[in-house]
Chain A
């Protein structure tokens, strides 16, 4: 009698990873810390331990002793589908691995299992399936144009054509959080650090694809990593600064794997760079701010890469600022909830986790929550608004720029622009409300709606920064957003802010992490 084929295969797992499934002692330490398990009302199906044990059971049924003797046991497809859904209810924050007594590398395990299930056909989850097409074709997950990569630039910002130092802007800062882009650039200018950018040559770091198990689709992350590395190398970069924790993690861990060797430059996070400048006494604080702040360690910067102290060093050096820690900090911080494709795929879960983290911040009595990841910031702003907390949420770079006496103003925000595009702490700008939608015209065939109203090219209305020479790089200072080419993209949904006095809007497409 011919033996049946196993229901699941073992692709995307290394031998040691399959061993790791057998290493779980079921102690449940991971359960105590899992942010999505908490946000899902302690649903046992979501806990990391349960997922490891269920996959172990699948493997044993397929390849264990009994399977060898009598043939594999069939696993019902609905059981695999349920497992897949539970698996994607995870931000891949890695807290489970950090506390695991057996030292299981859970981040890699979840990513491999996701990739396996994408190939099987039950993954990814919801809108995450749009990532491959968006990133492959448009080189960003936001349905934006490459030519608008530098649309955030203001005339005061100077960018060199060539330099040893490069600033890798990232899609989130480039398209949605202009305040981070302008703040980073102005700080570097002020410090007399010449820097270059890739501009239209910059491609998405592809973190979203890797985290959601879709790296094999057209090999997009590999192609993107090689492209970015080669482009930076060609421009002579020796040091590349990242202000986005997600891009930084990709460059530190994922790019060398794709590139096949060590990167030809040093990848450094902006918080590390700032800490160096503080140490060297190069940062001159021009303002003082009497505020108590707390710091949220992004998973991608902290637990994944190990940068914990540099952001704190910068904050502690700021005049007037008092840093208080949340109970869960550094290695044991609680995830913001946006990572692992959750913001795009399961927004209600992302919001639930964000609320948990904002409540952590509230306990400290801090007036502001500072982070070093634009994507964390975006989700934490959502959590803050949902809880109606009176707390600002901003990036370390934005705070640094302000206290260095620099403007954090961006070009005049377009009506209905994402709330995260401007600074939350330093309210010198407002986002005009979105105009009422025009009556629907005949919809073009197979074309999707744009993510957000396209801001037409217009002169900046209130850039507080001094006017200097125009940027030298091939930049497109005036944003001109065109209809995206991708099919089946989510329609824009811009909501009114829930918190009072918070000019904010929500752009669901801005969910890539």
Chain B
């Protein structure tokens, strides 16, 4: 059953996402819990290290503390420089592998851009009733203004994935010769599923002529997830694949590689 939204402290955070927020909330919470558990297991594994001279392992929290202190051991300024040049713009990859750099940047920034815009949209949903005392129209305005950057980041992601697929199919590079390199397809296909189903969901929204407004006004024609399994699958799969699965997968390097660059001060 559709709802007007979520009531928090007497304020209504209007439900305008065309999807059932209850399913989204449950999936998101499960994903985040799994992510945290996965991260803890990894931290615990790292924390078992006993370097020369030490007598016992430092544990998960000790490992976290060591990582953070190592990152800032040369000062905040240096850490920020590495963060921008080596993590955000992947300078080390750019120096040697231009095509791979382009692919990474398109996927990375496409993804980060969409993530940031999603956070902005979510913030606007709460800001409307809580900060500006406005109804859902406030959010609709914000959301519409984000359409162009949303499209740009979406196309960047698609382009990056296309390059990744073509490289896999055509390249004879060392990276595709690694032992068990075939498992890279899991990430590529997973991302492809996210993108294709995402575009499909958007197409349904546009095709239905539905504008961002209260679900109750279009519930008859467009209930949560539009009664469409693909749309629901898109939202749930995206959260599980891109958040919950991360610490357990080969793609964990998406977290550890930037951390390593930061800990090693840019690797220089």
Contacts and interface: CB of A to CB of B under 8 A. Distances in A.
A97 B264 CA distance: 11
B264 A104 contact: yes
B98 interface: no
A20 B252 CA distance: 11
A28 B174 CA distance: 5
Contact of A68 (B41, B51, B173): B41
Interface in B156-192: 173-175, 177-179, 181, 184
A268 interface: no
Interface string B58-89: 10001100110010000000000000001000
Chain A: interface residue count, which band?
35 or more
Interface stretch (A9-17, A482-490, A503-511): A9-17
Nearest to B63: A15
B104 to A, nearest CB: 9
A265 B133 CA distance: 68
Contact of A13 (B49, B259, B267): B49
Contact of A103 (B47, B70, B86): B86
Given A31-B174, A101-B97, A10 B41 contact: no
B118 interface: no
Contact of B41 (A17, A50, A64, A99): A64
Interface string B24-44: 000000000000001001101
Interface in B45-61: 45-52, 57-58
A318 B24 CA distance: 73
Interface in A99-134: 99-105, 112, 115
Contacts of A59: 45
Contacts of A308: none
Interface in A22-61: 22-29, 31-32, 44, 49-50, 53, 59-60
Contacts of A12: 50-52
B173 A24 contact: no
B239 interface: no
Interface string B234-268: 00000000000000101011001101110110110
Nearest to B254: A25
Contacts of A491: none
Interface residues of B, number: 47
A59 B252 CA distance: 15
Given A16-B70, A22-B253, A44 B175 contact: no
Contact of B264 (A15, A50, A60, A103): A103
Contacts of A25: 253, 257
A374 to B, nearest CB: 28
Contacts of A99: 96
B213 interface: no
A285 interface: no
A470 interface: no
Nearest to A332: B96
Nearest to A100: B267
A101 B175 contact: no
B96 A29 contact: yes
Given A28-B174, A102-B261, A64 B66 contact: no
Interface of A: 9-20, 22-29, 31-32, 44, 49-50, 53, 59-60, 63-65, 68, 97, 99-105, 112, 115, 215-216
13 contacts: A12-B52, A16-B46, A16-B67, A17-B51, A22-B46, A23-B260, A26-B250, A28-B178, A44-B179, A49-B178, A53-B179, A101-B96, A102-B261
Interface of B: 38, 41-42, 44-52, 57-58, 62-63, 66-67, 70, 86, 90, 92-93, 96-97, 100, 173-175, 177-179, 181, 184, 248, 250, 252-253, 256-257, 259-261, 263-264, 266-267
Given A19-B263, A28-B174, A112-B52, 20 more contacts: A9-B50, A18-B45, A18-B49, A19-B259, A24-B253, A25-B257, A27-B97, A28-B177, A31-B174, A31-B177, A32-B174, A50-B178, A63-B45, A65-B41, A97-B267, A101-B92, A101-B97, A102-B257, A103-B261, A104-B260
